[in-house]
């Protein structure tokens, strides 16, 4: 049992606990905070794998911007504790087994294909930001420009949606 493995299991445990907390919390704000915990744990895992740039972006953008946005909206809408309605029979009965089956399938598929996937992912080989940037602006420049356009559209959409009705 070496150090990276311990760190991995620690971070994995945090991530899973955070996800479970997301499911079980009654107030949305608590769920949001649980999600932030998950994201931070994932950032740690990225670092463990040597993907520094991705880890940084995860914290800054995901944790710092998107989740803050979520919390703003929760506060704006004054979302309270969730009601206890249950109008969907199917979701109530079939949902859990199916989700577990999904998890199981994926996990099983992964676990059984160990011979196909190279057992790499060490903390040794880092991914230099320079190389990532190079890829981003050379091979993937077209999608990159498109995403900026996408953001523009999202901004306009958000503004239009949130406008107050004209009196």
Partner 1 sequence: MPILDNLWIIPLLPLLGSAINGLFGGKWPNNIVNSVAVGSTGLSFACALEAVREFSQLPPDQIPFVKQFFTWIAAGTFRAGFDLQVDQLTVVMLLVVTGVGWLIHIYATGYMAHEGGYYRFFSYLNLFMFFMLLLVLAANYVLLFVGWEGVGLCSYLLVGFYFLRKSAADAGKKAFIVNRIGDFGFMLGMFLLFKTFGTLDFVPMFAKAVPMPADAMGQMGTLTVACLLLFVGATGKSAQLPLYVWLPDAMEGPTPVSALIHAATMVTAGVYVVARSHVLFMRAPSAMLVVAIIGCATALFAATIGLVQTDIKKVLAYSTVSQLGYMFLACGVGAFSAGIFHLMTHAFFKALLFLAAGSVIHAMGGEQDMLKMGGLSKKIKWTYITMLTATLAIAGFPPLAGFFSKDAILLNAFQSENGGHFLYAVGLFTALLTSFYMFRLIFLTFFGKQRYDEHHVHVHESPKSMLVPLMILAVLSLVGGWLAAPAFWGAPDYFAKFLEPVFAQGGGAESAAAEAAAHALEMPLAIVAVITATLGLGIAYWLYISKPAKPAELAKSMKGAYTTLFHKYYVDELYAAVVVKPLLWLSTKVLWQTVDVRMIDGAVNGVAYGATEVGDNVRHAQSGNTRSYAVWVVIGALVVIAIVFWPYLKPAAVGMVR
Partner 2 sequence: MIPAHYYLVLSAILFGLGVVAFIFRRNIITIFMSIELMLNAVNLAFVAFSQAWNRLDGQVFVLFVIVVAAAEAAVGLGIIILIQRNRQSLNVERVDLLKL
75 to 114, contacts with partner 1 by CB under 8 A? 87-91, 94-95, 98-99, 101-102, 105-106, 108-109, 112-113
Query: Distance between CA atoms of 165 and 167, rounded to whole angstroms?
Result: 6
Minimum separation from the CB atom of position 167 to partner 2 (A): 14
Q: Which of 56, 44, 51, 55 shows the shortest CA–CA distance to 10?
A: 44
150 binds, among partner 1, partner 2, none (CB under 5 to 8 A by kind): partner 2
Q: CA 85 → CA 1, 57, 140, distances in Å?
A: 47, 38, 46
Give the number of residues written for the chain: 167
Cβ 39 vs Cβ 83: under 8 Å:
no
Distance between CA 1 and CA 110 in Å, rounded?
A: 22
Q: Which is nearer to partner 2, 23 or 166 (CB)?
A: 23
Cα–Cα distances (Å) from 126 to 16, 51, 82, 156, in that order, read 25, 6, 44, 38
Q: Which residues in the 31-70 window bind partner 2 by CB under 8 A?
A: 31-32, 35, 38-39, 42, 45-46, 48-51, 53-54, 57-58, 61-62, 65-66, 69-70
What is the x/- site pattern for partner 2, positions 82-121, by CB under 8 A? Answer: xxxxxxx--x---xx--xx-xx--xx--xx-xx--xxxxx
d(CA 105, CA 89): 24
For partner 1, the closer CB: 111 or 160 = 111
Nearer to partner 1, 73 or 100 (CB): 100
Residue with tokens 């915990």: 37
Q: Which of 1, 131, 145, 166 binds partner 2 (CB under 8 A)?
A: 131
Binding positions for partner 1, rule: CB under 8 A:
87-91, 94-95, 98-99, 101-102, 105-106, 108-109, 112-113
């Amino acid at each position: 049992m070496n150090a990276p493995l311990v760190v991995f299991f620690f971070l994995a445990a945090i991530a899973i606990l955070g996800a479970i907390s997301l499911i079980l919390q009654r107030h949305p704000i608590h769920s949001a905070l649980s999600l932030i915990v998950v994201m931070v744990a994932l950032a740690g895992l990225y670092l463990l794998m040597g993907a520094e740039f991705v880890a940084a972006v995860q914290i800054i953008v995901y944790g710092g911007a998107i989740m803050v946005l979520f919390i703003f909206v929760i506060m704006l809408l004054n979302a309270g504790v969730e009601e206890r309605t249950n109008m969907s029979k199917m979701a109530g009965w079939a949902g859990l087994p199916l989700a577990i089956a999904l998890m199981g399938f994926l996990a099983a598929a992964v676990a059984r294909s160990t011979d196909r996937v190279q057992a790499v992912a060490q903390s040794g080989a880092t991914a230099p930001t320079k190389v990532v940037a190079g890829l981003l602006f050379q091979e993937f420049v077209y999608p990159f420009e498109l995403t900026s356009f996408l953001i523009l559209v999202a901004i306009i959409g958000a503004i239009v949606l949130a406008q107050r009705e004209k009196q």
